[in-house]
Amino acid sequence: MSKKNIGITIPTPWRIKRYYLYAVVTIVALVLPWITVDGNHFFLLSFDKLKLHLAFVEFDMQELYLMPFLLMLLFLGVFGMTVMGGRVFCGWVCPQTIFRVIYRDLIETKLLRLRKRIKNKQLDPDMSKFENKVKKAVAILIWSALAIIAGSNFMWYFVPPEDFFAYLGDFNNHWVLFGSVIGIAVFLIYDIVFLQEDYCIYVCPYSRIQSVLYDEHTVMAIYNMHRGGHIYDEQHNKVYTKQKDLQAVEPHAECTACESCVTVCPTHIDIRKGLQLECINCLECVDACTTVMGKLGKPSLVTWSSDYEIVDQKGKTKYFRTKVLAYMGLLVGIMIILGMMGSTKEHMLLNINKETRLYSVKHLDDGKFRVENAYEFLLQNTENEEMKFFFEVIPPEGMEGKITIAKPKGEFTAVPGMKKKEIVVLRTEEMLVDDSRKDTVIPITIRAYAVGHEDRVVVFRKSTFVFPRADIIADGKQ
C-alpha cells in the first residue's frame, strides 16, 4: 500500500506497521496463558503451587536454577536490541507505549473524538467544555475496564487462568490475588491517563541505560541537518522557526519548518535537535516528514538510520558489527545452555539424610551379625500423576549384593506435588571391611525410580554406608 506524489513513493507509515505488531503482541500475551500441553503452560511462575512451567515443561521450585538464564536472555535481548536499533523496544514492544496508543489514539481520538487528530499529540483537548469532560470520563471508564483485563492478564503468568477464575469466587482466601489485580489496574489508570509519556522520560531507567549502549552505528530516528539545515545552534537553542530565515543563512536548507515532526511526537521532543533520551524510536516523526517532503517530491529529512551514515556521512550503517555479533553469540549460547538444562529435568526430587546414629549392630543366634544404617528419604513426585516408587543400592565394586534393603519391604506411593518422607534401613550380614582401628565409610549410590517408568523417572544420589570396627563386630558393643 503506497501513494505516489510527484515521482516520490510514500511507503506504508511506520505507525501502521507498529499497530500490526501491537496487535500481534497483544493477542499473544492474552492467548498464551490459555494454551497448555499435557496440563503445562508455555510460561508460568506459580508461587501458589511452587512450580515453574517453561516451554510446556513443568519444573519444581528446586529447579529454579533456570530463572537466572531466563533473566539473562531478557536483559541481553533488550540490550542487544538497543545497540542495534536504539530504543526500538520502547516504541515497538513496550506495554507502556502500547497502552498509551490504545488510550490516546484509539479511545480518545478514534472512538470518542476527544482529540482531533492522531498526528497532533501536542494539542490537548479543551477540558473547559462540558462535552469534553463527559468524553474524558467515558475514556477513563473504558480504560479502567481494559486496565483490569491487563492486570488479570499479567497475573495469569503467576496464577493460571484455570485457577484464577476459581479463586475469584473465594475472596477471603485469595484477597492477595484480588488486591494485586486492583493494584495493577489502579497503577495503569494513573500511568496511562495522567502520568502519560512522563513515565518514559522520568521514571523508566531504560532511557538512562541506552546512552551507554549506543554507538555510531546504532539505528534511530535521525534528522539530516546536511539537507534540512541547522534549526538549533551548538548549545541546542532553537534559532530558526521559519524556512525563509533558515534559507537566508543556509540556502540549500530543505526543512519547511512545518514542525509536523514535532506535533506528532508522543514524548514532546523536536527530533531536529539531535539525539535525546526521550526519543522512543516510534518513528512517528519519520512518517510526518515523509508525508510533507513527499508532497514536494523529496525524500524525508528524518530517517531511521545511524549517525555514521547521516550525521558523519562516513558510509553505510554496519548492522552486524562486532558488538552486535557478541550479543547474538551470548544469546545463542544461553539458549543452548537453557535448552540442555531444561532437557535434563528431574521427574522426581530426592534428598537423603542419614540418621544421627551411625549404625546398629545385632548379633544373631547362629553366630552371625547384622549391621544396619538408617536414612530419611524425602521424595517429591514432580509428575502430574500418582506413582509408585522404589530404589536400589549400588555399592562399590566387589560388594555387589552385600548391602540389601531391610525397610521398606516394597513399593511406596507418592502423589503429585507432595513431599513423601520414608524411613529407609539398609542392611548387611557380610564382613565388608576388617579394620580394627576405625569405622569405615563406604560410598554407595541410591538409584530411585518410578515403578513402570524406570527409563524416564529415575534419579541417582550419592550416600554412604558406615561399617563398624572389627572389635564391635566381635563383641557386639557400640
Cell digits for 293?
Answer: 517532503
pLDDT value of residue 63: 67
DSSP 26-67: HHHHHHGGG-EETTEESEEEETTTTEEEETTEEEEGGGGGGH
> All domains of the chain, ordered by start, with CATH?
1-34+86-314 (no CATH), 348-475 (2.60.40.10)
| Lowest mean pLDDT across 156-160, 266-270, 367-371, 425-429 | 367-371
pLDDT value of residue 478: 44
**How far is CA 140 from each of CA 26, 108, 114, 298, rounded to the nearest angstrom?**
20, 9, 12, 42
For 388-434, what is each residue's pLDDT tens digit? 999 999 999 889 889 999 999 888 888 887 788 999 999 999 899 88
For 136-180, what is each residue's pLDDT tens digit? 999 999 999 999 999 999 999 999 999 999 998 888 888 999 999
pLDDT value of residue 384: 76
pLDDT value of residue 287: 94
pLDDT at 245 over 90: no
Quick check: pTM over 0.85? no
Q: What is the mean pLDDT of residues 338-364?
A: 83
For 340-350, what is each residue's pLDDT tens digit? 877 666 678 88
C-alpha angle 265-266-269 in degrees, rounded to nearest 5: 50
Mean pLDDT of the chain: 88
pLDDT at 187 over 80: yes
Task: Read off the amino acid at residue 388.
Answer: K
Rounded distance between C-alpha atoms, residue 222 and residue 334, angstroms: 33
pLDDT value of residue 145: 97
Q: Highest-confidence range of 35-44, 184-193, 232-241, by mean pLDDT?
A: 184-193
Cβ neighbours around 24 below 10 Å, total: 10
CA 1, distance to chain mean position in Å, is 35
pLDDT value of residue 67: 82
pLDDT at 7 over 70: no
Rounded distance between C-alpha atoms, residue 233 and residue 144, angstroms: 44
pLDDT value of residue 345: 67
CA 245, distance to chain mean position in Å, is 51
Helix axes 322-343, 67-85, angle to 10 degrees: 160
